[in-house]
């Protein structure tokens, strides 16, 4: 009995440890933020780097663009996956297999001289009867050609007539004026056919138009009733509140960047500074309190250079909370059911 209780105790401890680990992982995923960062630059060429890290950079996923796309995964700082290295290894392995295949072909071609001599002797022995038979065949072919040429000389007119009969007859092209009048006749017939069918088409369209207009009016009235019904205003407010909170949370908290514009024309340089005056309030709103975006315009050889750095973090607990508030809202669910019924 004591052994049985001891086994149950050990099993219970193991299950509690597993449940504790699962709970710890869930809490870490919910409360530990996912940090993201985007760095981009354009000088002579475009380079970009997107990085997502979690749990104090224990898990890092990077997407790099520099003369090609590369994907990297790191765990505890150790690279576990590198797309570019993997592709390079595959290419090297394919090249190695190709060279190995070529070496096998060369080895099969390298034969000992004794084997070559025996093969040549057998080939010469096979050639001798073949040459004798070929001589007889060539003599017979020459005699046949001489008889055929004599027959052709005797009947030249017959061959000419047969060739003429076998040749395809050329289609007679109609005269340009006749073709033009035929085209006019065809177009006139089509026009009269269209006029004959026009009343029927017009009647069908007039029969179809009231039904379509009635369907459109019913749709407009339905959505008007739906938007003006009781609780719709609360649904719109809930969507604005929680949806706006999700959007605001996902947006980066800091954005830094520079834009250097060079142009030979001083008028274009002045326009850039004019645009900067209008863009400053928007840029300050996008960059955040700590971010900054500088625009510099100079008179020089025409080119554009820029750098961009975006930083942000996402807490899954925030997204889950606002998402559940929307899903569990009774009025929102009723509103979605009405929309589904209308679509059905």
Half-sphere exposure of residue 264, counting CA atoms within 13 Å on the CB side?
Answer: 2
Across 118-127, 143-152, 161-170, least confident range: 161-170
Tell me how far CA of residue 110 lies from CA of 96, 105, 148, 150, 154, in angstroms.
21, 9, 51, 55, 60
Place of tokens 């340009």: 176
Yes or no: say if 316 and 52 are a contact pair by the CB < 8 Å rule: no
Torsion angle of the four alpha carbons 205, 208, 212, 215, in this order, in degrees rounded to the nearest 10: 170
Supply the pLDDT for residue 54.
93
Q: By CB neighbour count within 10 A (0-12 exposed, 13-18 middle, 19+ buried), where does 128 fall?
A: exposed
pLDDT at position 75: 92
Q: Could you say which DSSP state residue 112 is in?
A: -
The pLDDT of residue 93 is above 70: yes
- Longest C-alpha distance within the chain, in Å? 123
Alpha carbon 77 to its chain's center? 31
3-class DSSP state for residue 209?
helix
- How much is the pLDDT for 172? 46
Helix (H, G, I), strand (E, B) or coil at 172: coil
Beta bridge partners of 82: 72
Please indicate whether residue 128 or residue 317 has the higher confidence score (pLDDT).
Answer: 317
Helical axes 156-166 vs 113-154, angle rounded to 10°: 100
Domains of the chain, by residue range, sit at 34-110, 112-145, 182-228, 231-343
Q: Where residue 123 falls among pLDDT bands split at 50, 70, 90? A: low
Q: Identify whether the C-beta of residue 245 lies closer than 8 Å to the C-beta of residue 326.
A: no
Read off the pLDDT band of 159 (50, 70, 90). very low
Of 16 and 42, the structure prediction assigns the larger pLDDT to 16
pLDDT (tens digit, 9 = 90+) per residue, 236-294? 888 889 999 999 999 898 999 998 988 888 888 888 888 888 888 888 888 877 888 88
43-72: average pLDDT:
90
Query: Predicted confidence band at 122 (pLDDT cuts at 50, 70, 90)?
Result: low
**Region 139-152 average pLDDT:** 53
Output the pLDDT for position 152.
Answer: 47
pLDDT band at 151 (very low <50, low <70, confident <90, very high): very low
- At 214 the pLDDT is 80
Are the beta carbons of 90 and 79 closer than 8 angstroms? no
Nearest to 22 by CA among 78, 53, 30, 75: 30
Please, what's the b/e burial string for 211-234 (b: 16 or more CB within 10 A of its CB; e: otherwise)?
eeeeeeeeeeeeeeeeeeeeebee
Pairing of strands 78-82, 292-299: unpaired
The pLDDT value recorded for residue 148 is: 54
How far is it, in rounded angstroms, from Cα 238 to Cα 240?
Answer: 5
- Residue-level pLDDT at 162: 46
pLDDT at 216: 81
pLDDT at 157: 44
Of all residues in the chain, the percent with pLDDT exceeding 90 is 24
pLDDT digits (tens, 9 = 90+) for 279-317: 888 888 888 778 888 888 888 888 889 899 999 999 999
Which is more confidently placed, 174 or 47? 47
């Amino acid at each position: 009995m004591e052994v049985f209780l001891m086994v149950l105790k050990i099993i219970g401890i193991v299950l509690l440890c597993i449940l504790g680990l699962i709970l710890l992982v869930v809490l870490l995923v919910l409360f530990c933020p996912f940090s993201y960062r985007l760095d981009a630059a354009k000088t002579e060429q475009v380079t970009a780097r997107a990085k997502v890290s979690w749990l104090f950079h224990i898990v890092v996923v990077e997407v790099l663009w520099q003369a090609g796309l590369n994907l990297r995964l790191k765990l505890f700082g150790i690279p576990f996956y590198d797309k570019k290295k993997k592709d390079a290894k595959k290419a090297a392995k394919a090249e190695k297999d190709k060279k190995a295949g070529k070496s096998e072909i060369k080895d099969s071609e390298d034969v000992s001289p004794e084997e070559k001599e025996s093969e040549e002797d057998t080939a010469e022995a096979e050639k001798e009867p073949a040459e004798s038979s070929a001589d007889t065949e060539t003599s017979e072919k020459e005699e046949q050609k001489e008889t055929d040429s004599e027959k052709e000389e005797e009947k030249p007119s017959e061959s000419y007539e047969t060739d003429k009969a076998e040749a395809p007859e050329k289609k007679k092209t109609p005269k340009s004026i006749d073709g033009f009048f035929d085209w006019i006749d065809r177009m006139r017939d089509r026009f009269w056919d269209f006029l004959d069918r026009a009343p029927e088409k017009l009647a069908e369209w007039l029969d179809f138009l009231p039904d379509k207009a009635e369907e459109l009016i019913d749709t407009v009235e339905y959505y008007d009733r739906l938007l003006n019904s009781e609780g719709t205003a609360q649904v719109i407010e809930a969507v604005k509140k929680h949806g706006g909170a999700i959007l605001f949370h996902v947006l980066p908290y800091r954005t830094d960047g520079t834009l250097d514009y060079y142009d030979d024309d001083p008028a274009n340089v002045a326009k850039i500074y004019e645009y900067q005056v209008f863009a400053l309030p928007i840029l300050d709103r996008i960059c955040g309190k700590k971010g900054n975006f500088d625009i510099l315009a100079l008179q020089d050889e025409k080119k554009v250079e820029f750098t961009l750095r975006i930083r942000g973090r996402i807490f899954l607990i925030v997204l889950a909370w606002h998402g559940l508030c929307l899903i569990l809202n009774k009025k929102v669910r009723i509103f979605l059911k009405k929309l589904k019924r209308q679509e059905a």
